[in-house]
Amino acid sequence: MKYLQIISLYMFTYCCVAFSALSQSKKQYNSDSTKVIAKDITVSALRQPEQNLEVPLAVTILSLRDIQLKRGFGIDDILQTVPGVLVQNRSGNQDLRISIRGFGARGAGERSNAGTTRGIRVLVDGIPETEPDGRTALDFINPLSIQSAEILRSNSSSLFGNASGGVISFSTVPKESITKLTFQTQIGSYGLQQYTLQAQGMTDLGLFYATIGKSSFDGWRAQSQSDALQISAGFVNQISARTKVGVHILAGNVNFQVPGPLNLAQYQLDPSMSADTSTFTPTFIQRNERRNNTAGRIGISVDHALSETLSLSAMTYLQSKYLQRSERNTFRDFTRYHTGGNTIIKSANQVSATLHSLFMAGMDYQYQDGAILFYNLVNGNRGNILRTNKREGAQNLGFFLQEELMFDDQLSVILGGRYDKVSYFNETYIDGALPIFNGQDMSYERFTPKAGLTWRMSEDMSLYANIGGGIEVPAGNETDPPASLSAYLINPLLKPIESTSLEIGYKVQSHMDDWLGLGQAEVKSDIALYAISTINAIIPYAGGRFYFSAGKTQRTGLEFGHSVRWDNGLSMNISVTASKNVYVDYIIDSIVDGTSTGAKFIDFSQNEIAGIPSMFGTVQIKYAPEYLKGFQCGVDYRHSGTYYADDANTLNVDAFDMVDCSASYELEINESLSLKFFGRVMNIFDTAYMSGVWINPEKPKFADPAYIEPGLPRNVSGGIAITWK
């Protein structure tokens, strides 16, 4: 809590200084018109375009210039500067874990998060990559195809439904309609190779865009190689003054190996090793633990203005997946068919001279179904014996309403709510190589309310507050029962996480005449203080082999984001997150925990929640000098505080600090042709760190728990991009 008090004091001081500076600048504006108000950024956090300063939610917007100078190999490169968002790259490849304000923190373990994240909804061009049960695979999103990102850090279940502890919305649609073709190649340490072809231009169908990327990485740990083919394409056409149509395609094939966790002694001796026989038999190398994912998706969106005050938008998509896994001494074939869509109607009315109304109603639907075939594993490959044949289906249906009233362009009030029903359909046709039929369905329902208030203090400053609820049902593979409940297909003891969130925040967005004595600058600040209480927290046991619903948790935190772009080419971005996360009420049977203390129950109440650092943050500085056109360089500093990997708070995860640097130079050959050279050094000081952990790992009798996933050592990458316009 010491960190939280220090940061709170600092934020209060900062607000006072910023308000004073803005007030002084306003006086200058009134007298000599030297101050220019920055254009307010439009966001879609409320599922309709709206000025960010009027949205009573914590929102971070990343433009294309914000994500330049990144390595471009993983989504973690893009999200590291967002307050409240913790991104952990587990093996230096596509296997990521994302949590926002603690939502999604449980996703780590032998089967709980191998290549997926949960509790967070992820959209690409408005189409959900998140499955109906709340899991999201980030495999097919090429970071180099992303043109912008919008991160909604507030609990958003009242608008987006299940697993909306936060929302990450990526856009691959170019912001400019110019015609250009870019080829980029990059090589780096540990066998990194990346080749990307991007094209965009105006056609008869509208603005066309496409990105094709091929990458490979040998990995730095044993059993950590990966390769990916990722394709995104589409077009957007304004077919009339009232109607816009978009078609968006996402496809690819991704393969990556899983090296497994190490215990503390192994990590200190040789972090590049893979998990050994002291905990896992056969080892991850012997069973060639890996994922091979192939998928394709097409989505169509339509926005139509029915009148000057009434509009209708609709979206539908179809996705097919074929997933193969060597996992836990079996080989598994997954076939998935995922479809869905939404319809939203919006009404904007000027009720009176000082009162404006924005009403919205909509429906979301998702359905996924398919078979899982379990085979025996022979030397890391699929055998000829079919052990189990299962069907796993999930459906997510939601209806929502929201009314926003704006009084005199200074005060806005939002009231809304959403009803969700998430259903699972599980059937077993073959079990233990014997024909059998056993089916079980289960549904989770909840109504989630939301209320928000925004006070527009000035043209460039606002205060907001919101209160609301959230729902997160257990993901499909979390519903598997433990051995003691083997008669069930779906664990009957699991309940959905129900959360209540309270948040207050402050936003500034302005263009200052002089900021910190360095000249004119665009200044953006975002401060949010939140308190989130939950019941039925879903907790992994035995390294994620099964899950139970625990008691109550309380998460309190403060997020600070501050960015400055001076006209002289210097820019700075700071993000700090400080939080306290505890189990308020958490008592479990000692048999579940696997301890032999003789006590019937174990009380973890008041322990820290596993998987969430109490403090983390970044500082990013970039410079593009006016006297050297085309050149820019940057330095990133990252800090992650300590936390625990288990509910008993006995397995420590060490804090670490890391520094990266990057540089690029763009040379214009002529009006049509340019070359860009770039390079990046990550982890300059070769810091040894724990990039990820398995939550509540299995506790073997004759070895220490294996829970540590070591982070990538110092590595270098560089390349060239050729652009023709």
Least Cα distance to 672 among 725, 611, 620, 633 occurs for 725
Alpha carbon distances (Å) from 255 to 23, 142, 598: 55, 14, 45
The model's pTM: 0.91
* 186-205 per-position pLDDT tens digit: 999 999 999 999 999 998 88
Structure tokens at 139: 């495999």
DSSP 184: E
Structure tokens at 694: 């398995």
Residue 37 pLDDT: 42
Q: Which residues of the chain have pLDDT under 70?
A: 1-42, 69-71, 91-95, 107-115, 483-488, 542-545, 589-600
The CATH number of the domain holding residue 701 is 2.40.170.20
Alpha carbon distances (Å) from 593 to 244, 393, 546, 548, 590: 55, 30, 11, 11, 5
CA atoms within 13 A on the CB side of 442: 21
* 277-326 per-position pLDDT tens digit: 777 888 889 989 999 999 999 999 999 999 999 999 999 999 999 999 99
Beta bridge partners of 565: 522, 571
Residue 25 pLDDT: 43
Domain containing 682 equals 2-724
Residue 7 pLDDT: 45
User: What's the domain count of the chain?
Assistant: 1
434: Cβ contacts below 8 Å, ≥ 6 apart: none
Residue 110 pLDDT: 61
